[in-house]
C-alpha cells in the first residue's frame, strides 16, 4: 500500500454528481487544493436544467413562479430543510458562480433572473426550472406566448415523439404542429441514438442537409422545437447555425436519459474543474476513511485504481448521494451511511418507510431520510456531536428534504456545496492561523 500523500490536499470531495462537482468547483474558486473521488456518470441522466425550488408544499404540489418566494415559504414552513438554512444571497452567489463556470467551459445558460421558467418535456408535460441552457430558453418563451410552432423529430429516435407532445398540448396550443423526417445519412437505420446524431450534426455536411430538410416545413411557424441533440462539444455553434439559417428561434427539448444535455454538462464540469487544478480520481472509490487527530488530517484509502492508493486531506466533503449514488444503503432493518456508518435520520421502523399509496402526493418518509448536520454542515454522530471537526456533508445525502418532488435537486446540490465549502475554508484558515 502506498504511503499517504505527505502534503495533504486542503479538501477531498467524495462524490462526482452535481453536489460533488459543485463542491470541488467552489473549493477551487476559494483557492483550496482539492481532490475529487468518484465517477460522474450520474450526470448523464441530467436534463441540463438546474432546478432551484419549484414545488412547495410537496403534498399540495404548489408550483412557484419565483424560486425565491418559494424559498421564503419553505423557511417559514420547514426551517430544518437544508435549503431553508442557507441565506438567499449565498444561493444567488452559488448559482451565478456555477453557471459562469459552465459558460467558461462552453456551456452557456440564460441569465438567471428572479423567476422560474416553464419548459416542455419529451412527453408533452410542463416542467418548472430555474437555470436553463441557452439552447432551450426559446422554448420557455414559445410556451409562454404559444405562437405557431413546429416540432420536428426523426424516424427511429424512439426516446422522443413530437407527435406525442403535440397531442398532449392540442387543447392548449392550437398552433403547435409536428413533423417527422429522416436524419441525413441514417436513412437505413432502424433505431437512432441522440448522442450519435449530436456528433453527426457537428459536421458541416450533415448539419446543412438537416437544415435543408427542415426549412420547407416551417410554413408559418415562428419557432422550431427539436430533440436535444444539436451538437456535443460544439453545441453553441450548431444551435446558432440552425437559428441563423432557419430564421426563427430554435429550442431543444430534453430527451429521456441518458441525455445529450447530460453529456454536455458532465464535459463542461470536467473541463471547469480541470482548468482550476482539481485533481480527480474518476474511477476510484473510498474504501476506508480515518481521521488522524494529531496531524489534523483525514486519510482516504482508495480502491478502483491500479494497486491501492491513500490520500490525505485537511477537510473532507461527503457528496456521495443517496441510494443510487451509494451514499446510503438499505438493509432489512435500517438505512445506513456507507463509508463511516454515520447515523441516518429515518423512520423508527421499516413499516413506516412508505405510504400505502405508491403515488401519495406527500411522498414517502424514506425520501426524507439522510444525515443530520450542525450549523456548519458537519454530520452528527449518535451523541449529536460532529463526527470530525472538518467533515462536511452536502447534497441529497442530507436529511429533511425530498428533492425530487420539490424540484430542487440542483438547488440542494449547489446551495449546500457553497455553504459547506464556505465553512470548510473558514475552518482551514482558522487552523492555519492557530
Whole-number pLDDT of residue 126? 92
CATH number for the domain including 218?
A: 3.40.50.1860
Question: What pLDDT digit, counting tens, does each position of 378-423 carry?
Answer: 999 999 999 999 999 999 999 999 999 999 999 999 999 999 999 9
Bridge partners, residue 227, by sequence: 253
Q: Domain check: are 425 and 281 in the same one?
A: yes
Per the document, the length of the chain is: 434
- Averages of pLDDT over runs of 10 residues in the chain (434 residues) are 63 97 98 94 91 95 95 97 97 98 97 95 92 97 97 94 94 94 95 95 97 98 98 95 98 90 96 97 91 90 81 97 90 91 89 77 82 98 96 97 94 98 96 78
Q: Do 423 and 290 reside in the same domain of the chain?
A: yes
DSSP string, 75-107: HHH-TTSGGGGS-HHHHHHHHHHHHHHHHHTT-
Is the torsion defined by CA of 268, 271, 276, 277 positive or negative? positive
Decide which of 225, 253, 281 is a domain's last residue.
253
Residue 419: strand, helix, or coil: helix
Handedness of CA 52, 54, 57, 59 (dihedral sign): negative
> Are 225 and 281 in a shared domain?
no
Identify the pLDDT of residue 6.
Answer: 55
Asked if residue 57 lies in contact with residue 308, where contact means CB atoms within 8 angstroms, the answer is no
The whole-model pTM stands at 0.94
- With b meaning 16 or more CB within 10 Å and e meaning fewer, what string describes 362-387? ebbebbbbbbbbeebbbbbeeeeebb
Name residues whose C-beta falls within 8 Å of residue 38's C-beta, 6 or more positions apart in sequence: 13, 14, 15, 16, 17, 20, 281, 282, 284, 285, 319, 320
Task: Say if 115 falls within a structural domain.
Answer: no
Say which CATH number the domain at 275 has.
3.50.50.60
Query: What does DSSP say about strands 149-154 and 176-181: parallel, antiparallel, or unpaired?
Result: parallel
Question: Does any domain span residue 130?
Answer: no
Element containing residue 270 per DSSP (H, E): helix 260-275
Examine the domain organization and report whether 243 and 272 are in the same domain.
no
Output the pLDDT for position 168: 94
SS3 114: coil
Residue 126 lies in a domain: no
Same domain, 270 and 218: no
pLDDT reported for residue 434: 66
379 and 247 housed in the same domain: no
Last residue of a domain, one of 222, 253, 284: 253
Is residue 2 included in any domain, yes or no? Answer: no
| Domain housing 337 | 9-104+264-433
Measure the CA–CA gap between 258 and 260, rounded to whole angstroms. 7
Q: Which three cell numbers stand for residue 43?
A: 450526470
418 and 293 fall within a common domain: yes
Rounded distance, CA 156 to CA 384, Å? 56
The predicted pLDDT at position 2 comes to 42
DSSP assignment, residue 43? G
pLDDT reported for residue 293: 84
Same domain, 91 and 226: no
Q: Is residue 1 part of a domain?
A: no
Q: Are residues 274 and 387 in the same domain?
A: yes
Q: Is the bond preceding residue 57 a cis peptide, omega within 30 degrees?
A: yes
Whose CA is closest to 23, among 393, 304, 289?
Answer: 393
pLDDT value, residue 397: 97
* 282, 427: one domain: yes
424 within some domain: yes
Task: Give residue 83's pLDDT.
Answer: 98
Q: Is 170 helix (H, G, I), strand (E, B) or coil?
A: coil
Q: Is residue 325 part of a domain?
A: yes
Three-state DSSP class for 168?
helix
Domain count within the chain: 2
Q: Say if CB 361 and CB 58 are below 8 A apart.
A: yes
One domain, residues 205 and 347: no
Give CA separation, 313 vs 241, 428, 434, in Å.
47, 11, 18
Report CA 214 to chain centroid distance, whole Å: 32
DSSP assignment string, 359-404: T-TT--GGGG-EE-B-TTS-BB-TTSSBSSTTEEE-GGGBSS--HH
Where is the domain boundary, 253, 274, 309? 253
- Cα–Cα distance for residue pair 11/6, rounded to 1 Å: 14
Q: Do 145 and 221 lie in a common domain?
A: yes
Q: Is 407 left (phi over 0), alpha (psi -120 to 50) or beta?
A: left
Residue pointed to by grid coordinates 457537428? 202
Termini Cα distance of the chain: 33
Cell of 200: 453527426
151 in any annotated domain: yes
Amino acid at each position: 500500500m502506498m504511503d499517504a500523500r505527505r502534503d495533504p490536499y486542503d479538501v477531498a470531495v467524495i462524490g462526482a454528481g452535481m453536489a460533488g462537482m459543485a463542491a470541488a468547483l467552489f473549493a477551487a474558486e476559494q483557492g483550496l487544493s482539492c481532490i475529487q473521488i468518484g465517477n460522474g456518470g450520474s450526470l448523464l441522466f441530467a436534463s441540463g436544467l438546474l432546478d432551484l425550488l419549484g414545488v412547495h408544499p410537496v403534498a399540495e404540489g404548489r408550483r412557484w413562479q419565483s424560486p425565491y418566494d418559494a424559498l421564503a415559504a419553505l423557511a417559514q414552513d420547514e426551517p430544518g430543510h437544508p435549503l431553508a438554512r442557507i441565506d438567499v444571497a449565498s444561493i444567488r452567489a452559488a448559482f451565478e458562480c456555477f453557471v459562469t463556470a459552465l459558460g467558461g467551459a462552453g456551456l452557456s445558460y440564460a441569465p438567471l433572473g428572479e423567476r422560474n421558467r416553464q419548459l416542455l418535456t419529451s412527453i408533452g408535460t410542463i416542467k418548472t426550472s430555474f437555470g436553463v441552457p441557452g439552447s432551450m430558453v426559446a422554448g420557455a418563451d414559445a410556451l409562454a406566448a404559444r405562437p405557431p410552432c413546429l416540432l420536428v423529430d426523426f424516424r427511429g429516435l424512439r426516446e422522443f415523439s413530437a407527435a406525442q407532445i403535440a397531442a398532449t398540448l392540442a387543447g392548449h396550443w392550437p398552433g403547435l404542429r409536428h413533423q417527422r423526417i429522416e436524419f441525413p445519412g441514417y436513412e437505413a437505420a432502424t433505431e437512432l441514438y441522440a448522442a450519435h446524431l449530436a456528433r453527426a450534426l457537428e459536421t458541416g455536411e450533415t448539419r446543412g442537409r438537416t437544415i435543408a430538410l427542415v426549412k420547407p416545413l416551417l410554413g408559418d411557424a415562428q419557432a422550431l422545437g427539436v430533440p436535444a441533440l444539436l451538437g456535443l462539444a460544439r453545441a453553441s455553434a450548431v444551435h446558432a447555425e440552425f437559428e441563423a439559417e432557419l430564421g426563427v428561434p430554435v429550442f431543444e427539448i430534453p430527451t429521456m436519459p441518458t441525455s445529450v444535455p447530460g453529456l454536455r454538462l458532465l464535459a463542461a464540469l470536467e473541463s471547469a474543474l480541470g482548468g482550476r487544478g482539481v485533481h480527480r480520481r474518476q474511477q476510484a472509490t473510498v474504501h476506508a476513511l480515518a481521521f488522524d487527530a494529531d496531524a489534523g488530517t483525514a486519510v482516504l484509502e482508495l480502491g478502483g485504481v491500479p494497486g491501492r492508493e491513500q490520500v490525505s486531506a485537511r477537510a473532507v466533503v461527503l457528496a456521495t448521494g443517496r441510494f443510487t449514488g451509494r451514499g446510503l444503503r438499505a438493509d432489512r432493518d435500517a438505512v445506513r451511511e456507507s463509508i463511516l456508518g454515520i447515523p441516518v435520520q429515518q423512520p423508527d421502523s421499516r413499516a413506516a418507510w412508505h405510504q400505502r399509496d405508491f403515488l401519495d402526493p406527500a411522498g414517502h418518509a424514506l425520501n426524507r431520510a439522510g444525515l443530520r448536520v450542525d450549523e456548519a454542515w458537519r454530520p452528527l454522530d449518535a451523541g449529536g456531536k460532529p463526527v470530525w471537526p472538518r467533515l462536511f456533508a452536502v447534497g441529497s445525502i442530507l436529511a429533511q428534504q425530498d428533492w425530487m418532488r420539490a424540484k430542487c435537486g440542483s438547488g440542494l446540490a449547489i446551495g449546500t456545496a457553497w455553504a459547506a465549502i464556505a465553512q470548510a475554508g473558514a475552518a482551514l484558515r482558522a487552523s492555519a492561523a492557530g
